[in-house]
Amino acid sequence: MSKAKGVTEMPLERVRNIGIAAHVDAGKTTLTERVLFYTGASHKVGEVHEGTAHMDWMDEEQRHGITITAAVTACPWKDHMLQVIDTPGHVDFTIEVERSMRVLDGAVIVMDGVRGVEPQTETVWRQANKHAVPRFIFVNKMDRPGADFQRTLDMVKSRFGDEPVPVCVPVPSKQTVLHVIEQQAYTFRGEKGEIVETRPFSEEEAAEVATYRETLLLALAEHNEELADLVLGEEEVPEALIWSVLRALTISGKVRPAFSGSALRNWGVQPMLDAVIKLHPTPLDRPPAIAKKPDGTPVEVKMDPDLPLVALAFKVQLFEGRRHVFCRIYQGRLEGGEEIALGGRNIKERVARVFEVDASRKTRIEQGLAGQIVLLAGVRWATTGDTICDPAHEVLLERIDARAPVLGLAVEPESSADEEKMLEVIEKMTEEDPTLRFEEDAETGQRILKGMGELHLQIQFERMEREFGLKLRAGRPRVVHRETVRQSASAEGGVDRVLETGTQRIELRATCVVTVKPRERGTGVDVQARPRWNPPEYQPTPEQLDAVYQGAKDALGGGPIEGSPIEDVAVTVDEIVSPGSGSNPQSLRIAAASAVREALSKAGGVVLQPIMKVEVVVPDENTGGVLGDLQSRGSTILGHSSDAGITSILAECGLSSLLGYTTELRSQTRGRGAFVMEFDRFDAI
């Protein structure tokens, strides 16, 4: 069976859609490369540090040595087909993880055996929780000094409150893993660890595994009476029963199986692959997706190729400069040349071709079926989060959330002749990446490109030059601000004028009273628009009420100090005064916006800037200097810990104080320090 036909023809019971995710530099792309090699999907092992990783196919990924875009591939393993997504670990590209988790059936979370749970590990874990993705852990880099399998499991339990259960325990000195369930030792030989041998435990190994096996069985016994009776009776538990119970608990999220090894040193990967088949859900095992009909009625989406098409567009990707769309098919089938509808957008278009994807290479197929991840060509309007459906059975799936950007740069083309080209290229790239925004500053007229951080924007500039031959000049980084209010305030606003356009005469008359109040940080904006109506006997129409709501929202686009968007404010529209015949929607929208602006001004503004969660890792001898430098930047130190000569410092700091910090940290630590940051909230400094 050829790989191009594999996923299409494989029964869903033998398909696994999995993602590999981790903190940056935990080794997930290295692990993915071994998966491709051992499954036969790739004939050589690519290395990240050599710029030859198959899944890091973009020039920028090979140059920087990090994963930037989620890459999709398919590989066969023991009469099953794995569709694998390798996701980025750097926080600037976390949207790639978010939209991948949205469409996956399972995930492997890779952790550094020395570092354990790191900041981006926590982010990835939360994203998996949000979408209820079953997962297990691969503790990597167990060949390194200071690596500790049990400590990593303890961190998972304390940080996440989850129950990690050991399945493959490492013996680094022998490049061996001890299988707790099968009670066999796995060793790996050959140039790339491709020869796997199993043998019974030695006495010493059996004693070491006994504790781990007891931990596993006791964890499973809490959820299964049959297994509990055998454990309490000190009877031998059949291997098949352990796998069966462990699979059910993994899919339900009650336990997290843990495996170990060293992907770079080529040991421990194959038992993990076997477990993907045994423990991860098939597309049929996942709960049905819930969609909504145009009238709001919920409807189950069933993994059935013979029902009307329902799919989710989860990523726009430029291949060779042409627009393509990745989608996960949840129901029905999708053929090249077929007409589709975009749910809730009143748009219909035609799919030119359907492809299976292997990183940057695509293979045309006749159709995609329920359970598959496919690539579509010729789709002009579908964007991230759109529902692709049968025009005769339109439904709407839940969209994909995208974080707002926190850093902006003023940009202009090097040549004035490239002005139009710049707008066209940036439009393509903002379609591809929902966390990249482009707008014009109303006061200065500058064009601002906003992203998730300095690296994020740097990569976009490099891609524009490489893919489109467009060079941009950029100004100094400008941190994106928000505004909130200092206190509660009420205000009245209104409109009273007549517009005459030719023969048409429009009366704009309405008065609105609103109250604004500050909310807790990170709670967002809440608008309540159910006002008293004056005269009280008047019954407003839905269109009038919506106009009041939209007017209040309009005014939140800019605060009273800098004109930055409003954050963490509650707006209540208290009263509407309108003529006896009722004000038209245009009048009400203007009046509500006017009243909210006046109330914001009276309440007093507060500028908020992005607050980042920071982890700085430095040698112990540099700890004091680095702590002092962080405090001089206005950081709040949350804690620090030392292990194996390395100190990890956790802190919160305003983004504006961290611009250029990488260079300063390297200087202080002679290149040995590193740091990562993740957006936490907007707050006053």
3-state secondary structure of 102: helix
pLDDT at 55 over 50: no
pLDDT at 610 over 70: yes
Query: In sequence order, what are the beta bridge partners of 650?
Result: 615, 639
Cβ of 515: how many Cβ atoms within 10 Å?
18
**Distance, CA of 71 to CA of 69 (rounded, Å):** 6
**Distance, CA of 666 to CA of 617 (rounded, Å):** 11
Q: Is residue 527 within 8 Å of 565, Cβ to Cβ?
A: no
Q: Is residue 328 within 8 Å of 386, Cβ to Cβ?
A: no
Confidence of residue 49 (pLDDT cuts 50, 70, 90): very low
| 313: CB partners within 8 A, 6+ apart | 325, 326, 327, 376, 379, 382, 383, 384, 385, 386, 387, 388
pLDDT at 81 over 80: yes
Confidence of residue 3 (pLDDT cuts 50, 70, 90): very low
The answer to which of 33-37, 240-244, 510-514, 669-673 has the lowest mean pLDDT is 669-673
**pLDDT recorded at residue 415:** 83
Read off the pLDDT of each residue in 392-421 and give the average, rounded to a whole number: 85
Residue for token pair 């050991």: 166
How would you classify the pairing of strands 472-474 and 407-413?
antiparallel
* Per-residue model confidence as pLDDT tens digits over 480-522: 889 999 999 999 998 888 777 766 767 788 899 999 999 998 8
Read off the pLDDT of each residue in 153-176 and give the average, rounded to a whole number: 93
**pLDDT recorded at residue 1:** 31
DSSP conformational letter for 308: P
**pLDDT recorded at residue 133:** 93
* Per-residue model confidence as pLDDT tens digits over 309-334: 999 998 888 777 788 888 999 999 99
Cβ of 537: how many Cβ atoms within 10 Å?
7
Read off the pLDDT of each residue in 109-132 and give the average, rounded to a whole number: 87
DSSP conformational letter for 281: P
Read off the pLDDT of each residue in 129-139 and give the average, rounded to a whole number: 93
Crossing angle (nearest 10°) for helices 269-279 and 28-39: 80
Read off the pLDDT of each residue in 154-165 and give the average, rounded to a whole number: 92
Residue 291, both tokens: 């969609």
Comparing 7 with 641, which gets the higher pLDDT? Answer: 641
**pLDDT recorded at residue 9:** 64
Residue 442, both tokens: 């109303």
| 296: CB partners within 8 A, 6+ apart | none
The Cα angle at residue 416 between residues 415 and 418, in degrees rounded to 5: 70
| 493: CB partners within 8 A, 6+ apart | 511, 512, 514, 591, 592, 593, 594, 595, 596, 597, 598
Read off the pLDDT of each residue in 26-48 and give the average, rounded to a whole number: 76
DSSP conformational letter for 446: -
| Whether residue 535 has a cis bond before it, omega within 30° of 0 | yes
pLDDT at 582 over 70: no
Comparing 221 with 444, which gets the higher pLDDT? Answer: 221
3-state secondary structure of 668: helix
* Per-residue model confidence as pLDDT tens digits over 258-311: 999 999 999 999 999 999 999 999 999 988 889 998 888 999 999 988 999 999
**pLDDT recorded at residue 54:** 46
**pLDDT recorded at residue 65:** 58
Q: Is residue 585 within 8 Å of 549, Cβ to Cβ?
A: no
Alpha-carbon separation of residue 659 from 167, 265, 310, 412, 610 (angstroms):
43, 36, 44, 21, 12
**pLDDT recorded at residue 29:** 83
**pLDDT recorded at residue 349:** 92
**pLDDT recorded at residue 513:** 93
* Per-residue model confidence as pLDDT tens digits over 627-653: 999 999 889 999 888 876 778 888 999
**pLDDT recorded at residue 230:** 92
Three-state secondary structure string covering 472-483: EEECCCEECCEE
Q: Is residue 484 within 8 Å of 416, Cβ to Cβ?
A: no
**pLDDT recorded at residue 662:** 78
DSSP conformational letter for 108: E
Cβ of 611: how many Cβ atoms within 10 Å?
22
The answer to which of 66-70, 128-132, 314-318, 672-676 has the lowest mean pLDDT is 66-70
Confidence of residue 477 (pLDDT cuts 50, 70, 90): confident
**Distance, CA of 413 to CA of 416 (rounded, Å):** 6
**pLDDT recorded at residue 536:** 81
Q: Is residue 255 within 8 Å of 218, Cβ to Cβ?
A: no
Cβ of 190: how many Cβ atoms within 10 Å?
9
**pLDDT recorded at residue 68:** 60
**pLDDT recorded at residue 136:** 92
**Distance, CA of 651 to CA of 256 (rounded, Å):** 29
DSSP conformational letter for 183: T
Read off the pLDDT of each residue in 377-381 and give the average, rounded to a whole number: 89
| 565: CB partners within 8 A, 6+ apart | 482, 483, 556, 557, 558, 559
Alpha-carbon separation of residue 483 from 327, 452, 490, 610, 654 (angstroms):
37, 19, 18, 11, 15
Residue 679, both tokens: 């957006």
Confidence of residue 52 (pLDDT cuts 50, 70, 90): very low
The DSSP H or E segment spanning 493 is strand 489-501
pLDDT at 167 over 60: yes
The answer to which of 143-147, 268-272, 526-530, 579-583 has the lowest mean pLDDT is 579-583
Confidence of residue 441 (pLDDT cuts 50, 70, 90): confident
**Distance, CA of 426 to CA of 437 (rounded, Å):** 9
Closest CA to 78 of 249, 286, 271, 241: 271
Q: What average pLDDT does the structure give for the chain? A: 85
Residue 92, both tokens: 């600037």
Confidence of residue 62 (pLDDT cuts 50, 70, 90): low
Read off the pLDDT of each residue in 582-589 and give the average, rounded to a whole number: 82
